[in-house]
Amino acid sequence: MNFWENKRVLVTGGAGFLGKFVVCELRRKGCRKIFIPRKKDFDLTASSPIKKLLLKTKPDIILHLAAVVGGIGANRENPGKFFYENIMMGVQLMEQARLFGVGKFVAIGTICSYPKFTKVPFKEKDLWSGYPEETNAPYGLAKKMLLVQAQAYRQQYGFNAIYLLPVNLYGPGDNFSPESSHVIPALIKKCCDAKASGQKSIVVWGTGKATREFLYAEDAARAIVLAAERYDKPEPVNIGAGFEISIKKLVGLIVQLTGFKGQVIWDGSKPDGQPRRCLDTARAKREFNFTAKTNFKNGLKKTIAWYAKQKSPTGASQ
């Protein structure tokens, strides 16, 4: 029998950027009973709405993707909000899932949980070897507590909770808001908008020396669904593409692909964030046979094309 055929699956954040790809992958796999709670209907930071949600949906599996998140600027401006809402959503939801007898809980963590100076490539065993980069710490630590909770619940209650650590995601449908977007959508927007308006230059935060790893959201969705099917162990699992690129090279690539001809001005007064990011992805390959498929340049082209379409007079956002 198809694993997903008769499963009732609750996907928090299912209407969001990553969530839409996950829901699409679930449907592709034959899942027909998918429930996507909306924030206006169910406040996941409180136990009462969660109880109502679980009574209504009676899920066999919960994929907890919902998060309050943003780039470096948003993290600096909202440390309290990001800590409180992320930790409360996860803690309350996992506790109620246990009490309701949910069969499996898939918690989605973040690469921001890793220590600031983690040796590259990041291995899951390095999670506790230091404190996260300061601008990411409240968010990263809030999400990291879900790993502690998952392992504690497995040990005491036999609750099947797993914990995945995706690297920075990108792709069509990403958040392009200047106030809260991550680096790739922020750069795409700057370059496309500057090109359209004839601007001579764009300003980019930091020095460009920091490095990042990026995973196409469609690949991340495939990894999450595979792990939900096949992985039932307490150890956290990195989800990434296994490559590293400097922000300076990333900017050059996006400038090239968008056709922006102006100058790039680096604002060194702004933070770089974590110095380096690149994951060891061997565990995901070994445990549930996941490897990223999308070529980075091709993924960027698709993301740029999606944004350009939204900006066009006949685009979906007009």
Tell me the C-alpha to C-alpha distance, in Å, between residue 228 and each of 148, 216, 258, 287, 303.
19, 19, 37, 11, 27
Average pLDDT for residues 186-198, to the nearest whole number?
A: 95
Question: Rounded to 5 degrees, what are φ and ψ at 266?
Answer: -90, 125
Average pLDDT for residues 213-229, to the nearest whole number?
A: 98
pLDDT of residue 317: 40
* Domains identified in the chain and CATH numbers: 8-170+214-244+276-294 (3.40.50.720)
Inform me whether the pLDDT recorded for 240 exceeds 70: yes
pLDDT classification of 314: cutoffs 50, 70, 90: low
Inform me whether the pLDDT recorded for 271 exceeds 80: yes
71-103 pLDDT per residue, tens: 778 878 999 999 999 999 999 999 999 999 999
pTM, rounded to two decimals: 0.93
Buried b (16+ CB within 10 A) or exposed e, 66-82: bbbbbbbbbbeebbeeb
Exactly one of 114, 131, 139, 153 is catalytic; which is it?
A: 139
Known catalytic membership, residue 216? no
Higher pLDDT, 194 or 316: 194
Inform me whether the pLDDT recorded for 15 exceeds 90: yes
pLDDT of residue 312: 67
pLDDT of residue 273: 84
135-164 pLDDT per residue, tens: 889 999 999 999 999 999 999 999 999 999
